[in-house]
């Protein structure tokens, strides 16, 4: 492989060398060979850090982990064992984002983030749960998901006792008690309790629609909207009514349908107290309070012998 070709992979994110053991991919074959040694040494885990317990396949790797960190950041003083790690870190201060997505133009400061982002366009989910077969685009998402099977929920809310598998989920949950919304939109000033909600909201201002349907080319602001849309092509209807067996492509449609069986009517008219199973039916009804003629426009004439006015 030429030096130019190897360098180009830094920008494209291409990683053609894949580990058969864990599925991790690499841009250079020599890096894959070094990585494979970690699997060979795994059973004995001979080189463990006495401070944190992390294990390494070679003494040199352990020494780098706990040894000197001669490469200091001039901005914040943080030290690194490798010059390449310092170069990557300094982008936090400079704002440099040299890795650009060829599909949408979004840029990243680390190549691994670009690789992860590109999966939002390709739909690739290389990390598979051995328990249920569900696939994920991030290894961290798979690790979090596996706690569903183990039942592990280490992070407990002291206010209500609810437990979570991730500390970040607990932090976000605690804001429901405090009312804190630390993420403001610079365009309109609206605040959000989750950063992910702010990112989605900002797309309304920028017009960005990064999630594109490969079948028809239509684009969406959220990945969940794309997923729902794709069912119009596949015909998939994953939400089934347990009462009558009818299936739906959207969960909200199932909830709306179930009210036919339960008789629930959660939408109440503030003028007359009449209730409805759907918000759209309430909206139609509320027009009748604007005057009797609005009702005539909405409903067909019930007595053909009389002229409706």
3-state secondary structure of 80: strand
C-alpha to C-alpha distance for 141 and 224, rounded to whole angstroms: 16
Return the bridge partners of 125, or none.
none
- Cα(191)–Cα(198) distance, rounded to whole angstroms? 8
Residue 191's pLDDT is what? 92
pLDDT of residue 300: 41
141-157: b (≥16 Cβ within 10 Å) or e: ebebbbeeeeeeeebee
Kindly write down the DSSP assignment for every residue of 223-267, as one continuous string. HHHHHHHHHHHH----EE-TTT--EESSHHHHHHHHHHHH----E
Compute the radius of gyration of the chain from its Cα atoms: 28
Cβ distance 167 to 155 under 8 Å?
A: yes
Q: What predicted TM-score, i.e. pTM, was given to this entire model? A: 0.40
**Residue 233: other Cβ atoms inside 10 A:** 11
Strands 25-26 and 17-18: antiparallel
CA 38/CA 19 separation, integer angstroms: 11
Q: What b/e string do you get for 272-294 counting C-beta neighbours within 10 Å, with b at 16 or more? A: eeeebbeeeebeebbebeeeeee
Give the pLDDT confidence score for residue 303 in this predicted structure.
45
Domains recognised in the chain with CATH numbers: 1-67 (3.30.160.60), 237-289 (3.30.160.60)
Q: What is the residue-wise DSSP string for 137-174? A: SSHHHHHHHHHHHHT---EE-TTT--EES-HHHHHHHH
* Regions of the chain with pLDDT less than 50: 40-45, 51-52, 292-309
pLDDT, position 23:
66
Reported as type and span, the H/E element at residue 196 is: helix 195-206
């Amino acid at each position: 492989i030429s030096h130019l070709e190897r360098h180009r992979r830094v920008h494209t994110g291409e990683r053609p060398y894949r580990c058969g053991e864990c599925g991790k991919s690499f841009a250079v074959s020599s890096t894959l060979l070094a990585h494979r040694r970690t699997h060979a040494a795994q059973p004995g885990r001979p080189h463990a850090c006495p401070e944190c317990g992390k294990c390494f396949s070679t003494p040199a790797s352990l020494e780098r982990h706990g040894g000197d960190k001669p490469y200091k950041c001039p901005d914040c003083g943080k030290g690194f064992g490798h010059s390449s790690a310092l170069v990557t870190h300094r982008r936090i201060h400079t704002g440099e984002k040299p890795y650009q997505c060829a599909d949408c133009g979004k840029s990243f400061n680390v190549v691994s983030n670009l690789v992860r982002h590109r999966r939002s366009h390709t739909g690739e989910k290389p990390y598979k749960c051995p328990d249920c077969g569900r696939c994920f685009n991030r290894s961290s998402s798979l690790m979090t998901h596996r706690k569903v099977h183990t039942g592990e929920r280490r992070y407990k809310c002291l206010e209500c006792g609810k437990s979570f598998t991730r500390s970040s989920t607990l932090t976000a949950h605690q804001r429901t008690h405090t009312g804190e919304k630390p993420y403001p939109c610079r365009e309109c000033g609206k605040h959000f309790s989750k950063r992910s909600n702010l990112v989605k909201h900002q797309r309304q201002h920028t017009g960005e629609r990064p999630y594109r349907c490969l079948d028809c080319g239509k684009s969406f602001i959220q990945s969940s909207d794309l997923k729902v849309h794709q069912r119009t092509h596949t015909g998939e209807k994953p939400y089934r009514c347990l009462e009558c067996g009818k299936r739906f492509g959207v969960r909200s449609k199932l909830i709306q349908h179930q009210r036919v069986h339960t008789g629930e009517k959660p939408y109440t008219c503030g003028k007359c107290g009449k209730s409805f199973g759907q918000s759209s039916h309430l909206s139609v009804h509320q027009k009748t309070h604007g005057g009797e003629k609005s009702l005539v426009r909405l409903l067909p004439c019930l007595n053909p012998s009389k002229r409706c006015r």
